[in-house]
């Protein structure tokens, strides 16, 4: 029996999509072979890739001014690929450090470009997201980078910053959870393992104008423009993850698109946060306006009960609720594939656990 998977990533995948993939895994579309055996340059796979790209463009309403790339290396590879491509555009790069992942991005970039920390909440243990009005943007920087949803700390910035510089965003844990005005970004990147599909694929949405300004002296494999020219097949792509992502895109469309998931995700998050806030047994001290809708972090007031909470939740088919080692406590990741029923089951368990030990 499948449990309710609250993992931050690799995360839950829609069960109906898993079943669909299972049914055609041995042989894809009367081809005589599995999708994982079909060459990426064949007509069969080219159709899979093209449909996936077009569906994503439709879902996010990506304008013609932007290119969509399906790459390897995870979001972490983008920590270095971005400064490599665009360090020729200015004297430095601006980074907003709001949590673990944006700090990692800034640290990696600092090996390749002078980094200005425009704002940071590290001295407050990343318990707040720096206000955009407080960002100290350099006059001659190449770009501004931020992470709107910090998976580990469970903190988020819900508005799009207005920046007079190329704007880059790590949207790994928030993309496809709600509508997004892509035109306000010059580069968006996201690892697949949250709302897109299995790990192994990274999606980059990049302004075509910006892409052409990339450092032409780099090896082809490191240049966005070269990946674009090759339709994301400069080398062998992660074919299974790409195919699977396409299935998830179609599921999103069938379900009602991003308007539907925005409403559902807000409902799930509000339901769980309301329960936590009404309890004396659980606590989340983040500002309500800065709480993540994807990654709900919370602590038990008595840390001695953490092990019991995790053991008993697992016994109740509530999986992967342990918080990240850097922050401790608990974390319930409630991406698109987590139905409202799963959140209801979690709240029921939390209430019963509180009655038992509170």
Neighbouring residues of 250: CB distance < 8 A, sequence distance ≥ 6: 55
Neighbouring residues of 31: CB distance < 8 A, sequence distance ≥ 6: 38, 44
Confirm whether 194 is a catalytic residue. yes
Catalytic member of 101, 165, 242, 322: 101
Kindly report the backbone phi and psi dihedral angles of residue 345, in degrees, each rounded to the nearest multiple of 5, phi listed first. Answer: -60, -40
Residue 175's alpha-carbon distances to 185, 204, 290, in angstroms, are 13, 11, 17
Confirm whether 165 is a catalytic residue. no
For 146, the token pair is: 């931020």
344 has binding-site annotation: no
Catalytic member of 194, 247, 268, 322: 194
Cα–Cα distance between 219 and 241 in angstroms, integer? Answer: 25
Cα–Cα distance between 104 and 350 in angstroms, integer? Answer: 33
Cα–Cα distance between 177 and 133 in angstroms, integer? Answer: 25
Confirm whether 101 is a catalytic residue. yes
Catalytic member of 170, 186, 242, 322: 170
190 has binding-site annotation: no
239 has binding-site annotation: no
Give the 3-state DSSP-derived string for 24-61, with helices as H, strands as E and coil as C.
HHCCCCCCCCCHHHCCCCCHHHHHHHHHHHHHHHHHHC
76 has binding-site annotation: yes
93 has binding-site annotation: no
Annotated binding site for pyridoxal 5'-phosphate: 75-76, 101, 151, 170, 193, 235-236
Annotated binding site: 41, 75-76, 101, 151, 170, 193, 235-236
Active centre residues (catalytic)? 101, 170, 194
Annotated binding site for L-glutamate: 41
């Amino acid at each position: 029996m499948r449990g309710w998977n609250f993992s931050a990533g690799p995360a839950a995948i829609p069960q109906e999509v898993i079943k669909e993939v299972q049914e055609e895994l041995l042989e894809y579309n009367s081809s005589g072979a599995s999708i994982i055996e079909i060459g990426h340059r064949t007509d069969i796979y080219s159709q899979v890739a093209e449909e996936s790209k077009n569906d994503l463009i439709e879902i996010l309403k990506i304008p013609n001014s932007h290119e969509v790339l399906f790459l390897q290396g995870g979001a972490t590879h983008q920590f270095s690929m971005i400064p490599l491509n665009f360090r020729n555009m200015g004297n430095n790069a601006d980074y907003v450090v709001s949590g673990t992942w944006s700090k990692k991005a800034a640290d990696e970039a600092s090996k390749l470009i002078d980094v200005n920390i425009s704002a940071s909440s590290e001295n407050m243990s990343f318990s707040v997201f720096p206000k955009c009005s407080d960002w100290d943007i350099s006059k001659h920087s190449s770009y501004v980078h931020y992470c709107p949803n910090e998976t580990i700390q469970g903190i988020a910035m819900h508005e799009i910053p207005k920046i007079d510089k190329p704007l880059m965003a790590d949207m790994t844990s928030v993309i496809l959870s709600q509508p997004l005005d892509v035109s306000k970004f010059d580069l968006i990147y996201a690892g697949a393992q949250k709302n897109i599909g299995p790990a192994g694929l990274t999606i980059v949405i990049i302004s075509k104008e910006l892409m052409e300004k990339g450092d032409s002296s780099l090896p082809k494999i490191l240049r966005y423009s070269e990946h674009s020219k090759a339709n994301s097949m400069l080398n062998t792509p992660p074919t299974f993850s790409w195919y699977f992502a396409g299935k998830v895109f179609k599921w999103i469309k069938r379900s009602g698109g991003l308007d539907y998931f925005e409403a559902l995700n807000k409902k799930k998050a509000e339901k769980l946060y309301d329960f936590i806030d009404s309890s004396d047994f659980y606590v989340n001290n983040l500002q309500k306006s800065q709480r993540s809708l994807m990654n709900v972090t919370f602590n038990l007031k008595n840390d001695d009960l953490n092990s019991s909470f995790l053991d008993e939740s697992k016994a109740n088919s509530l999986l992967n609720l342990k918080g990240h080692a850097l922050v401790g406590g608990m974390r319930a990741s409630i991406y698109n594939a987590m139905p409202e029923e799963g959140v209801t089951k979690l709240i029921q368990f939390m209430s019963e656990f509180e009655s038992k030990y509170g």
